[in-house]
């Protein structure tokens, strides 16, 4: 019968998607599970957060990065992602803007300090 | 990759600090320890700045506005020379106050609070994975600064969601650990505040 022919394909679908009911990116390997767990604890969650919550958060973060990358590619120099584009996109959000500014400033300072340290060593 | 739960002794971080790790490693030093390079102490200061930099910036912008309105009497050239120096001094003083307050606060943490604070500072996304992800989307290579910026704002983004989810959890009378329903409600709320970027569906005004 027609129903019986449909059933095996139906079963196959359910067997393949073993990653639960999350539609979309369920088949990709989890990239940030360990780091996200530590992060959630740091932000106020329990010491052992639920795996499903970590998965949801990972999907959200990957979607966020994807969106930002696409937006950055469409402004400034087309097809490339540059820091200025990211800073421009983030300008309306005070927290993220301040964070990016601090990170980049700190990176510059550390680079300068490392360079000075190496030159001092080179002399002695 | 380093396990963020393990605390490294201060001496071992001196020779080759990476930008993100050295920032997070400062948690172990409650006050300035005898570190060799002076850069370490400046990075400690900037690290403490970083913590409450928003509040510091808000405070200084408040003060800047006052200065601007009162400075209309003096000649324009002289005012321009004096103002940036005054602003810088005030900003440094505000930063130093912030650093002091942070030190007092951190020194009075309980053990559990210290653990959580350490996780908060040390946790970060792995740069290699972020770089791979961005490069798989663009198809071209990206600079290191882009990876640093992107992982930084991703962490802030994750924090916003977790904080909103904790609000939802408390409002609904539940306890942590957070459940997927809290996360989804948090996302719904942030979306209505336009804090989650979405280029898939165009917004229509009237339906």
For chain B, the average pLDDT equals 72
pLDDT digits (tens, 9 = 90+) for A3-52: 444 444 444 444 444 444 445 555 678 999 999 999 999 999 999 999 99
Best of B128, B149, B155, B196 to substitute, by most chain A Cβ atoms within 10 angstroms, is B149
Task: Write down the mean pLDDT value for chain A.
Answer: 82
CA angle A40, A42, A47 (to 5 degrees): 65
pLDDT > 70 fraction of chain A, expressed in percent and rounded:
77
For residue A8, give how far its alpha carbon lies from the nearest alpha carbon of chain B (Å). Answer: 31
Percent of chain B with pLDDT over 70: 60
Distance separating alpha carbons of residues A83 and B143, to the nearest angstrom: 8
Q: ipTM of this predicted complex? A: 0.78
Ranked by mean pLDDT, the top range of A18-32, A46-60, B1-15 is A46-60
Give residue B173's pLDDT band: very low, low, confident or very high (50, 70, 90): very high
Phi-psi region of A24 (alpha: psi -120 to 50; beta: other; left: phi over 0): left
CA–CA gap between residue B193 and residue A18 (Å, rounded): 34
Residue B103 has pLDDT above 80, yes or no: yes
Determine, for residues B133 and A62 on separate chains, whether the beta-carbon distance falls below 8 Å: yes
Angle (nearest 5°) at CA B149 between B10 and A81? 145
Interchain contact A31–B (C-beta under 8 A): yes
Residues in contact with B63: Cβ distance below 8 Å, sequence separation at least 6, in sequence order: B87, B90
Inform me whether the C-beta atom of residue B5 falls under 8 Å from chain A C-beta atoms.
yes
Residue pairs spanning A and B at CB distance below 8 A = 196
Tokens for A34, please give them.
Answer: 């360990």
What's the pLDDT tens digit per position in B27-65?
Answer: 334 433 333 334 334 444 444 444 444 433 333 433 444
Q: Report residue B78's pLDDT band, with 50, 70 and 90 as the boundaries.
A: low
Q: What band does B75 get if pLDDT is binned at 50, 70 and 90? A: low
Residue B167 burial (C-beta neighbours within 10 Å; 0-12, 13-18, 19+): middle
- Average pLDDT, integer, range A70-95: 88
Angle (CA) B167 B168 B173, round 5°:
100
């Amino acid at each position: 019968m027609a129903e019986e022919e449909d059933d095996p394909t139906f079963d196959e679908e359910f067997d393949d998607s073993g990653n639960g009911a999350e539609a979309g990116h369920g088949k990709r390997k989890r990239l940030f599970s360990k780091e996200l767990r530590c992060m959630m604890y740091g932000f106020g969650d329990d010491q052992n957060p639920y795996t499903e919550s970590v998965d949801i958060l990972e999907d959200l973060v990957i979607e966020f990065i994807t969106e930002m990358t696409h937006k950055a590619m469409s402004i400034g120099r087309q097809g490339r992602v540059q820091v200025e584009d990211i800073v421009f996109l983030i300008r309306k959000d005070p927290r993220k803007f301040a964070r990016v500014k601090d990170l980049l400033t700190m990176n510059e300072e550390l680079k300068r300090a490392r360079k000075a340290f190496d030159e001092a060593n080179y002399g002695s | 990759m380093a396990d963020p739960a393990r605390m490294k002794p201060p001496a071992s971080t001196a020779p080759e600090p990476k930008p993100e790790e050295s920032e997070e490693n400062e948690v172990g030093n409650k006050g300035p320890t005898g570190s060799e390079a002076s850069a370490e102490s400046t990075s400690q200061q900037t690290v403490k700045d970083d913590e409450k930099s928003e509040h510091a910036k808000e405070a200084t912008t408040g003060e800047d506005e006052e200065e601007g309105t009162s400075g209309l009497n003096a000649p324009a050239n002289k005012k321009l020379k004096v103002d940036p120096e005054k602003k810088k001094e005030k900003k440094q003083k505000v930063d130093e106050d912030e650093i002091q307050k942070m030190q007092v606060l951190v020194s009075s943490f309980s053990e559990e609070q210290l653990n959580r604070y350490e996780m908060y500072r040390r946790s970060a996304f792995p740069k290699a994975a972020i770089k791979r992800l961005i490069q798989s989307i663009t198809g071209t290579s990206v600079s290191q600064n882009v990876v640093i910026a992107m992982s930084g704002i991703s962490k802030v983004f994750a924090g916003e969601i977790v904080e909103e989810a904790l609000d939802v959890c408390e409002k609904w009378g539940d306890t942590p650990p957070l459940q997927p329903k809290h996360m989804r409600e948090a996302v719904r709320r942030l979306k209505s505040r336009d804090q989650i970027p979405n280029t898939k569906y165009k917004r229509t005004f009237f339906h």
